[in-house]
A and B are shown apart, each in its own frame.
With several copies, the nearest count.
Chain A
């Protein structure tokens, strides 16, 4: 069964690209979640929509305007957060709303547009081409390299931005750099696997991992493991149950999260019972 499904080229490509996307989303995602930017992926896709509208309005190739507008929007959001006391999740919401409104108004101004371009936002992991796969592998390698390089600094900023600044880190620059990396991660991945998958891979494996790993390093490793496992499980499950792969992968991550929560809860319960028993048995001796 498994071998048979691996013979289809599109399944091979889905697995390879899916694993690459899972890795970068979970690594970049941990920092997004810790910065309270959990819905950054979702917001950025809306900005990309605005960017596509800009492209159609100005007759520039929309893929580029989408990328540029998204990154500018993300940088603007960072600036907004750095120069006001706005909470990070609210700044993400502003990014989302602005992108959307921009797109809609531009579309209104230009009196409609050719929708083909939206295919940009509507990837499906089964439709990944060979070139796409090569591209995402290269990009993933680059992104992971940058993240490895900035690892300690970004962790410091996630822990406490002010203390990081006081320690002499160029926090503002690093924030901009990170948000560009995150934007590239999201935009590159959206094209391949669609927005649904991105948002979930950013958040869910990381909150699951944060329940398990004590250290930062372990958290990253567990999160990557969970997201890669979900992608593989999800793709196989979607094949055998004939379900949409994106949705199936997301549901897999959610089940993993619930499983981990349940296990923790059970462990806690067992301990409490133990305690109670210990208490009771020790009582006579006092």
Chain B
């Protein structure tokens, strides 16, 4: 439970209020969040003025866009570092900034409900043309749309996203088309390498079942023939976990002989810990849905590829791979 609301809260007024309504905050509802101007990356610096201004919705797309845009595009991100992007909402100032950018890159599949409100000059929906998984839960459909948005966690689909970004950049900045094409091709090959890395790493595992923190790994599981379970039976890491659900999870882990419960960076670690403490030899590892990196990770220069490799390493432990 706990946390998710807060996690989603940006800084500033939103957080203020959320805490003021203390429980509203910890009771888990997603957050209506706002960010102070200071929190958003500053893209008004002098040298950025000549480059095309691109704004990406959240971290993976920011990373992809940086790879493709290289030093010819001035890329910034909407959801600030360290903030859970599910149900995140921008402030009017952020909207204004986004609408002044040359291009807005977003995930689509219902992940960013605020896109229409921005009224961007030019938008790239990176999931366009993809065959998406349906959101099975009718209750959730109302809130989180019809589809499962977590496509970026499948390197093959990520390649598609990168291609969409390339298309977009070429369109708004034709003079640099070759540059962008070359960058995209280079990054695509790295994604291919990631794909085969995952395949080989997970080729000889004892188990197929794992317990993620929220249902972010459906595309991933389909691709690599795994079975996903989740602490939060939901496409978002929100909502209070109730006693019966905890018990179900413990039973599930015991039945499937699972000893690892996965947590995420942006949530309260205690939830996974409690479940782990109930199962024999239980332990908690991180399986990042790469929905946002905190400032330290970003400062350390970590990117999508590094995070995916970390995930694979951790998954190998849980799936007992040789």
Residues of chain A at the chain B interface (Cβ within 8 Å): 5, 8-11, 42, 45-46, 49, 100, 103-104, 107-109, 111-116, 118-119, 121-124, 126-130, 194-196, 199, 235, 238-239, 242-247
Interface pairs A-B: 9 shortest CB-CB:
A122-B26, A115-B30, A112-B39, A119-B268, A122-B2, A111-B38, A114-B82, A127-B270, A104-B16
Q: Is B265 an interface residue (CB 8 A)?
A: yes
Instruction: Select A11's contact among B20, B82, B238, B243, beta carbons within 8 Å.
Output: B243
B5 contacts A246, CB within 8 Å?
no
A119 contacts B36, CB within 8 Å?
no
Known contacts A116-B32, A245-B243; can you find 9 more A-B pairs with CB under 8 A? Answer: A107-B29, A113-B29, A115-B30, A115-B84, A123-B26, A127-B274, A194-B20, A196-B26, A242-B243
Residues of chain B at the chain A interface (Cβ within 8 Å): 1-3, 5-32, 34-39, 80-84, 87, 89, 91-92, 139-140, 142-143, 234, 238-247, 250, 265-271, 273-274, 277-278, 294-295
B271 contacts A195, CB within 8 Å?
no
How far in angstroms is the closest Cβ of chain B from A237? 10
B92 contacts A127, CB within 8 Å?
yes
Question: For the complex, what is the distance from the CA of A67 to the CA of B53, rounded to whole Å?
Answer: 44
Instruction: Select A196's contact among B22, B36, B87, B277, beta carbons within 8 Å.
Output: B22
A126 contacts B241, CB within 8 Å?
yes
Instruction: Select A104's contact among B13, B31, B35, B241, beta carbons within 8 Å.
Output: B13
Question: For the complex, what is the distance from the CA of A83 to the CA of B28, rounded to whole Å?
Answer: 36
- A238 proximity list for chain B (CB < 8 A): 242-243
Question: For the complex, what is the distance from the CA of A239 to the CA of B247, rounded to whole Å?
Answer: 10
A246 contacts B16, CB within 8 Å?
yes
Question: For the complex, what is the distance from the CA of A266 to the CA of B273, rounded to whole Å?
Answer: 49
- A49 proximity list for chain B (CB < 8 A): 19, 21, 23-24
A103 contacts B243, CB within 8 Å?
no
Question: For the complex, what is the distance from the CA of A71 to the CA of B84, rounded to whole Å?
Answer: 31
How far in angstroms is the closest Cβ of chain B from A45? 6
B3 contacts A119, CB within 8 Å?
yes
B20 contacts A118, CB within 8 Å?
no
Question: For the complex, what is the distance from the CA of A281 to the CA of B89, rounded to whole Å?
Answer: 71
B139 contacts A111, CB within 8 Å?
yes
Question: For the complex, what is the distance from the CA of A127 to the CA of B266, rounded to whole Å?
Answer: 17
Question: For the complex, what is the distance from the CA of A46 to the CA of B269, rounded to whole Å?
Answer: 22
